Each structure stands twice: as C-alpha cells, then as structure tokens.
Amino acid sequence: MLSEALSYARSGDEALQRLLIGGAIQLGGAIFVLPGVFLYGYLLRVLRDAVDDTGDTDELPPWDDWETLAVDGLKALLVVFAYLLPVFVVTVGGVLVAVFALPFGAALGSGAAGSEAGAAAGTTLFLVVFVGVILLGALLSLLAYYLLPAALVGLAVEDDLGAAFRWDALRAVALSKSYVVGMLLAGLVAVAGSLVAAPLVFLLVGFVVQFYVFVVVAHVAGQAVAASTSPAA
C-alpha cells in the first residue's frame, strides 16, 4: 500500500507543479477557511483514484474544474462534521455536567461532613466526571477518524452523501483485516509526516511536505477500503 501511495504522489510530468499548488492551498487553508474546501474536494479525487483498479489513475489528479472541487469539498466537510458532531456534543455536554458536579458534590458532602469534606467530595465528583468525559470523547474521536476514510470513499465513488452513512457497508469495511492494517499504516505515515513537516513550516516548504503526506495518507486509506471490499479480503 505504502509504496503505491508514495509513487502515486510523485508520478506524472506535472507532479511537482501539482504538489506546489497543493502546498500553496495548504498554506491558505492554515489562514483562511475557503482553501480547505478545495483540499477536501481534492481528497475525494485521490480517494477515487485509490480505489480505481483500471490502471488509468496512477498519478496525481490535476487542479482543474474548481467548481466541482468546491462542491465535492463541501460534501466531504459535511460528512466530517456529521461524524465529529457526537464528539463535540459529548465533550461539551460532559464538561458542563462536570462543572455542575463540582458544587453539587460539595453541597452533598458539606451536608454530611462539613465544608472541607464537601469541597473534597465536589472535587472528586468533578474529576471523575471530567476524566470520564475526556476518555469517552477520545474513544469517539478515534472511532470517527477510523470510519471517516471508508465513509469518504463511499461519497467519492458514488457521489452520494447517503453512501457515507450506510452502516452495514461501513461495518463490513471497518471489521476487515485489510482496513485495520491500512488504517494503522495511514496513521503511522500521518504522524511521521507531521514530525518531518512541522519544523519546515516556517520555511514554507513544510506546507508542500504536509500536502504530500496528505495525499499519501489518503491514498493508503483508499487502498485499504478497496482491499477490504475485494473478494479476497
């Protein structure tokens, strides 16, 4: 998977030009919201290429048809928002509950054993709820990011928002060995690439490296989805 993705991200006569454009848009996306829409539209093109087995999509797609890129990017962002919404709701709601638990626990404790015991009870209840919320939020985040590539591939291939929420199909992909291995590999590439790109950001070339990593990770994830749905998976 990785060798194919690395080759894909630098193949084609105009690969460098397309990487530079992607890096510039990556830089713009770090400052403004709008360029990020085009990045997500491009992401769908990369995912579509990764699952295409015709052999005609072995190089970076061109930066063209900007209107379609924008529409696809908005669709992809809607899917991302939908998958991350439960994380936001649980985290924010849980923190509010934890904040409420502090005086509530203090009131219960003070009624039983004085002000110091009440403060300790309130703090304990707050910490228990807060840590529980953080752990639950982290678990939901991992689940969302694990499922998102499969959901976005469905959107990319079928050009239908509903394809990103077909739970039976998503479950079959998510539980396959090929997808598990592919997502672990994609995660490792993302972490390693971020460590390499981070110190180069101030030289601007870091944004090109970030975009290169973005493409490689997306292509690996797309291959993982394709492998999970093949007869041999």
Tell me if 139 is assigned to some domain: yes
> Which amino acid is it at 170?
L
CA 214 → CA 24, 34, 57, 191, distances in Å? 13, 18, 17, 11
From its phi and psi, is residue 204 left (phi > 0), alpha (psi between -120 and 50) or beta? Answer: left
On whether residue 57 sits in a domain, the answer given is yes
Q: pLDDT digit of tens for each residue in the chain (233 aa)?
A: 888 888 888 887 888 999 999 999 998 888 888 888 999 999 999 999 998 865 566 789 999 989 999 999 999 999 999 999 999 998 888 777 767 766 665 555 555 545 555 566 667 777 777 788 888 889 999 999 999 999 999 999 998 999 999 999 999 999 999 999 999 999 999 999 989 888 887 888 889 999 999 999 999 999 999 888 765 55
Report yes or no on 205 lying in a domain: yes
Q: How many domains would you assign to the chain? A: 1
Position 125 in a domain: yes
> Per-residue pLDDT tens for 142-201?
999 999 999 999 999 998 999 999 999 999 999 999 999 999 999 999 999 989 888 887
Residue 7, in any domain of the structure:
yes
Is position 181 within any domain? yes
172, 164 in Cβ contact below 8 A? no
Q: Are 83 and 154 in contact (CB under 8 A)?
A: no
| Contact between 41 and 68 (Cβ < 8 Å) | yes
Nearest to 219 by CA among 47, 58, 10: 47
What's the pTM?
0.84
- Write the CB contacts of 149 (distance below 8 Å, at least 6 apart in sequence): 47, 183, 186, 218, 221, 222, 224, 225
Asked if residue 183 is part of any domain, the answer here is: yes
Residue 233 belongs to a domain: no
| Boundaries of domain holding 49 | 2-228
